Every structure is written in C-alpha cells, then in structure tokens.
Amino acid sequence: MFERRRPGAVLFDRDGTLIRDVPYNGDPRRVEPMPGAVEALCRLRRADVPVAVVTNQSGVAKGLLTPDEMDQVNARVEELLGPFDAWAICVHDDGDGCTCRKPAPGLVIRAAAVLDVSPRECVVVGDIGRDMEAARAAGARGILVPTAVTLPEEIDQAPEVAGDLADVVDRVLSDAEGPVPAVSAPWARAMGWSRW
C-alpha cells in the first residue's frame, strides 16, 4: 500500500488517457483531448506537481509513422494541453526486447530521473493494464482510468481505479498532507522528447 502524500510527479499515458486513441496517429489534426484533460492538468500545474507523459509509440518501429510525424503529434498535444515537464517515449515494438516499452518499467524510471524524483514518488495514470504493470514494476502508484478498450480483467487487477481524470486529480491532491518534494535540479525538467 502506498503512503498517502503528494506525489513527486504524475506521469500520464498519452493515447486513451490524455488524448483520444487514434491508432498509430501521425496527423496532428487528429489530436483530440480526452474529456477533462485540460482541467486536470491545470489543477496539477497550479499545485506545482510536475506532469509528464510516458508513452509507447510502436508505430515508429512498425514503419507506420515517422519520428517527425510523432514529434508533430506530440507538439500538438502540448499546444492543446499545455507544456509537460518531461516526455519519455518508447518507439520499439513488442519483439524488440527493450526495457522501456510498457509493461516494462523503463519509461517510468526515465521520466522520474529527468524530473529528479524517485519512481516511488510518482503516480502513473493510464487506461490499460500495461500502464499499471509498468507502474508496479517501477514501484510507482498506478491509477487506472478505464475506457471502452479497457478489459474487465485489467480493471479487476488495477491497484486503483478512477472514474475520470478529475477523480485522479482529486485523489492525488487530497493526499497532499506531506511536504511537496522539491525538484532540486531545474535543468532536469526536459524540454523536448526523450526517446529510447
């Protein structure tokens, strides 16, 4: 069980969590925020909680979109949702054997390192079991926000389930009795994408 206190950072899955899932999307015009995403992120930023994106983008490895197209989509995400303190992106496919592709913990560990916080101080928010498994493997707190594609067994196995992004923020900010962990290195907040 995780100690209830303000997180060092909240790490969001991208597709199906922050924006509507358009499989292998390389077109920034197709980016559409999920309901409540803008408001949820604004509340976390106002509370000085760092926010980051941890996302699998295997379409690059599959040749379905280019790294430049992916970067354009990510830039559009920031235009619509505001700037993130870090991005950790896995461009590999399942067969590549990398340590970053969720459910492996690499993206969570990388984002936490960039933000200069422990993975144990992070909350990982996602819509599928892979997100929760990555959180668990990294020692982070996982909160599942189910969508139509979330499997019933993923909901049953999730450590915590929230109704929507507003519910997620209510939970993490209501746990804020402890001191806010300091981000000791301002330079550690990544501008641009960290690709593995």
Annotated catalytic sites, by residue?
13, 15
Q: ∠ CA 143-140-84 to the nearest 5 degrees?
A: 75
From the CA atom positions of the chain, what is the Rg in Å?
15
Longest dimension (CA), the chain: 47
Query: How far is C-alpha 94 from the geometric centre of its chain's CA atoms?
Result: 19
* 118-42-193-151 Cα dihedral, nearest 10 degrees: 80
Closest CA to 125 of 5, 11, 44: 11
**Taking the CB of residue 43, how many other CB atoms lie within 10 A of it?**
18
SS3 call for 166:
helix
